[in-house]
Structure 1
């Protein structure tokens, strides 16, 4: 019961608190909070909204996993944004240039993306273990550099081709595309959702069933204790950032291989920062991250329904931010409550013991 309370109560409290605050904001602005919540819920079952929500959640899930891997060792990998953009442009260039059999072609593109993401994450990893540069500083700088690299590589003078009013990489042939799961008029779910699920399982297995996962979590909880047990902090830092970068390299793959088939200047950006919020919502657990990704994607899609009834769509952004802050606060409140309860239980147990037992004597 205590475990369920510790795990389930904080997110429930956080969501309830976020809804309450947003309702207050709606009332102050003169809008009906019940109408807003009803419109948001009803929008999910209209047109392709449900499928679009799942597709967005697939991307958010991948970026959430990439961030969570770093969080497990108290590494704040803000560079996921730059890592996935660099990996996407490299994978798109390679994928458009190759002519391989189906399945193999897509597999090669995915491997290239993972390797490119890991390679870009190598820079902050090496800087941290050799020069002591904090990963937040180095990855923020590398995000900006990645934007410049994408702009340079996708230009018509390099690997870009003119696509109407936009410039993008050479389209990836059908052999390199991943077919989606069609639901008719409701839309098509990215086929990459299966791979995302497998990555989530692999993340769980790595953390809970392998020695590396144990050393990773131990290093995050207590670097001093881990070092005393023979775990190299520098080695774990490098490996963790490389694994995080490899997963980050796959963030753009659902859209690249399942919808766009090319990468350009106008491709969606900003996923890396959303992943930080999703990882915090999910408390770095694969199932929690999935829930956080779905919730975030649903709020994104619900903004249109609010616009339709004359309510500012920015209310969903307020709700997203409030939920993240509420989760952090709620978990801390529950943690302190559990700690206080445990101290009271220990106190009662000691109070009921005979004095001779407390003093180490015999009756």
Structure 2
């Protein structure tokens, strides 16, 4: 049993490690081809990560990535590809910002209400794709891509000054939210910055994700349906209901992913609000193998590459393009798919070989036993 556990851990770790090493090597090749030092950019970025203010930026950004990646991972565990996390999170953020700017309740009511608005908006938007899948058989990939585009247009409409928009300079915003909806963070000083208060929400969601999937009947049904709808149906699980439920939960979590930034820092939705978070989350969920701990490490890595890379533009005596970090991120996604499939095939061959050896040993034992009986 111990040997099996060690092999399983090895298989789980091998994929991400191979992907990261491959990405570093390929990025180094790109640097060499451009006539640059292949090691200096990594040293510079690691040096940046030792500064307290950069560490705060990494933790804050990682909290957004982590929640969004959990939303993607929930779909993956159900064998669903929720590619609409980006639209769900942005629409949830703008809806939450509008409600927060027009409703004023005491903080102990205002903050839970805003969290609920964000979750319900994301769940509603993903639920459309889920309903189309279970009622019309429409692929969730196609549906969520279309809903992303619709969400972008809807956000543009909601932020018009004729509707809920407030013009600040040349930027359409939703107006500043009521202070009762601001989530306090951990202030580490003017030179360091503030850790978002909803970082703890991200951690709580990770714990809840693990507990629900691994310690509840619902989690078992969800994983079983993702593995085989036919087998799940045979054990009494309504596969269509599970698909819709999984999409609703995934969208609800996605709706929370922009709130650490919205409630903890900017307090308004503007056209400068970050986009593309949902697509980044797909790579993070893949790298983390849909495991909450692995996703946390992947989110921190992604945030590190993003927040430490600007220093490359100002390096002396030779400046490096900060796009090196973007190249590495892309290569990680590319390498992770290949490495996971290679590791899966290797593990499958190992398992087949072990089963074959056990069957051969059992057969030899049976023959020997039979021979002894005949001789007797």
What TM-score, normalized to structure 2? 0.93
Structure 2 match to 1:327? 336
Distance 1:360 1:297, change over 3 A: farther
3-state DSSP of counterpart to 2:39 = helix
Structure 1 match to 2:39? 34
Structure 1 match to 2:78? 73
3-state DSSP of counterpart to 2:290 = coil
Structure 2 match to 1:317? 326
- Answer yes or no: is the 8 Å Cα contact 1:129–1:238 preserved in 2: yes
Give the C-alpha shift of residue 9 in structure 1. Answer: 2.1
- 1: CA distance, partners of 2:282 / 2:362: 48
RMSD over aligned CA atoms reads 1.7
Structure 2 match to 1:240? 246
Structure 2 match to 1:10? 15
- 2: CA distance, partners of 1:54 / 1:135: 31
- 1: CA distance, partners of 2:16 / 2:41: 22
Structure 2 match to 1:299? 305
Structure 2 match to 1:139? 144
- 1: CA distance, partners of 2:204 / 2:145: 29
- 2: CA distance, partners of 1:279 / 1:355: 46
Give the C-alpha shift of residue 164 in structure 1. Answer: 2.9
- 1: CA distance, partners of 2:49 / 2:75: 33
3-state DSSP of counterpart to 1:327 = helix
Q: Of residues 340, 354, 358 in structure 2, which corresponds to 1:349?
A: 358
Task: Say whether 1:57 aligns with 2:62.
Answer: yes
Structure 1 match to 2:3? none
Distance 1:354 1:148, change over 3 A: closer
- 2: CA distance, partners of 1:318 / 1:75: 27
Task: Say whether 1:193 aligns with 2:193.
Answer: no
CA deviation map 1:204-252 (0-9, x unaligned): 1110011110010001111111111111111011000000010011111
- 2: CA distance, partners of 1:79 / 1:254: 19
Residues 38-47 or 26-35, more deviating: 38-47
Structure 1 match to 2:237? 231
Give the C-alpha shift of residue 294 in structure 1. Answer: 0.5
1:187-226 matches, cutoff 5 A = 187-226=193-232
Structure 1 match to 2:112? 107
Q: Of residues 155, 167, 172 in structure 2, which corresponds to 1:167?
A: 172
3-state DSSP of counterpart to 2:167 = strand
3-state DSSP of counterpart to 2:36 = coil
Structure 1 match to 2:287? 281
CA deviation map 1:319-358 (0-9, x unaligned): 1111122222222222222222222223333333454716
- 1: CA distance, partners of 2:351 / 2:176: 60
Structure 2 match to 1:263? 269
Task: Say whether 1:93 aligns with 2:98.
Answer: yes
Distance 1:100 1:343, change over 3 A: same
Give the C-alpha shift of residue 44 in structure 1. Answer: 1.4
- 2: CA distance, partners of 1:360 / 1:219: 43
CA deviation map 1:172-199 (0-9, x unaligned): 1221110111122221111000011101
What TM-score, normalized to structure 1? 0.96
Distance 1:197 1:357, change over 3 A: same
Task: Give structure 1 stretches of 5+ with no counterpart.
Answer: none
3-state DSSP of counterpart to 1:12 = helix
Task: Give structure 2 stretches of 5+ with no counterpart.
Answer: 1-5
Distance 1:257 1:345, change over 3 A: same
